[in-house]
Amino acid sequence: MERHLMDSKIKGVSTGTTILAVTFNGGVIIGSDSRASIGGYYVSSKTINKLIQVHDRIFCCIAGSLADAQAVTKAAKFQISFHSIQMESPPLVKAAASVLKELCYNNKEELQAGFITAGWDRKKGPQVYTVALGGMLLSQPFTIGGSGSTYIYGYADAKYKPDMSKEECLQFATNALALAMGRDNVSGGVAHLVVITEEGVEHVVIPGDKLPKFHDE
């Protein structure tokens, strides 16, 4: 198995991936595929979980080296819980994103992982933040990431509308993931979607054969 590791730029298991997060009227949807690969041509897991819950209403999706991403989210989960206990109130999404940004920026030489943080808080409602590889933190109404995202920039830019309804947003996210998984070889498996609103968190899983099909499939 070691022969696969030599070629890849990311050592070990990588989540060559498609991840996205989109705000809608009243909440945010965060989604990802479920494939983990080694070396760009061996699928080491078809069912990896890339949507990690860092707090009650805050999720984060991971891209890059799986080991690095899991280590960072573990540390972030702890720091966010601790922060929330100290403040005696649920953390702001911006705070959670900042924790991840600090970890990524301060260890930028050693780490190879990027994140999208999305959630709902009382102060600003639904938000999406992206933390890039080197530690850049950016707030956007919607964002896509991972190796598969390059294939859906056009689709996302054209089809996104602010203030969508939950159903429209689910359709948008599902289509985007399906299109990316269709073109990117290191994205695939099932589509995981999490809908975060003030009321709670809903996890939607769409198996590969139930994904929307487009004209040449």
Partner 1 sequence: MALSNVLQIPTSGFNFENVARNVALESLLEGGHTKTPKPMKTGTTIAGLVCKEGVVLGADTRATSGEVVADKMCAKIHYISPNIYCCGAGTAADTEKTTDLLSSNLTIFSMNSGRNPRVVMAVNILQDMLFRYQGQIGASLILGGVDCNGNHLYTVGPYGSIDNVPYLAMGSGDLAALGILEDRFKPNMEMEEAKELVRDAIHSGIMSDLGSGNNIDICVITKQGVDYIRAYQESEYKDKRQKRYRYGPGTTSILTEKIVPLDLEVVQETVQRMDTA
By annotation, the residues acting in catalysis are 17
18 binds partner 1 (CB under 8 A): no
Q: How far is the CB of 5 from partner 1 (least distance, A)?
A: 9
Could you say whether residue 208 binds partner 1 (CB under 8 A)? no
**Hey, what are 51's tokens?**
């949507």
For the CB of residue 116, give the shortest distance to partner 1 in the complex, in Å: 19
Q: Is 63 in the site for partner 1 (CB under 8 A)?
A: no
Q: For the segment 22-41, give every residue that binds partner 1 (CB under 8 A).
A: 36
Contact stretch for partner 1 (CB under 8 A) within 5-13, 90-98, 152-160, 188-196: 5-13
Our finding on whether 70 is near partner 1 (CB under 8 A) is: yes
* Shortest CB 40 distance to partner 1, Å: 16
Residue 70 to residue 63: CA distance in whole angstroms: 10
According to the 3-state scheme, what is the secondary structure of the chain?
CHHHHHHCCCCCCEECCCEEEEEECCEEEEEECCCEEECCCEEEECCCCCEEEEECCEEEEEEEEHHHHHHHHHHHHHHHHHHHHHHCCCCCHHHHHHHHHHHHHHCCCCCCEEEEEEEEECCCEEEEEEECCCCCEEEECEEEECHHHHHHHHHHHHHCCCCCCHHHHHHHHHHHHHHHHHHCCCCCCCEEEEEEECCCEEEEEECHHHCCCCCCC
Distance CA 49, CA 198 (A): 23
Judged by CB under 8 A, does residue 137 bind partner 1?
A: no
Interaction of residue 71 with partner 1, rule CB under 8 A: yes
11 part of the interface to partner 1, by CB under 8 A = yes
Examine residue 60 and tell whether it contacts partner 1 (CB under 8 A). no
Q: Which stretch in 44-52, 160-168, 188-196, 201-209 sits in contact with partner 1 by CB under 8 A?
A: 44-52
Q: How big is the site for partner 1, counted in residues (CB under 8 A)?
A: 16
Q: How far is the CB of 42 from partner 1 (least distance, A)?
A: 8
* C-alpha gyration radius of the chain: 17
Task: Tell me if 109 contacts partner 1 by CB under 8 A.
Answer: no
Q: Write out the residues near partner 1 by the rule CB under 8 A.
A: 1, 11-13, 36, 45, 47-48, 65-68, 70-71, 74, 110
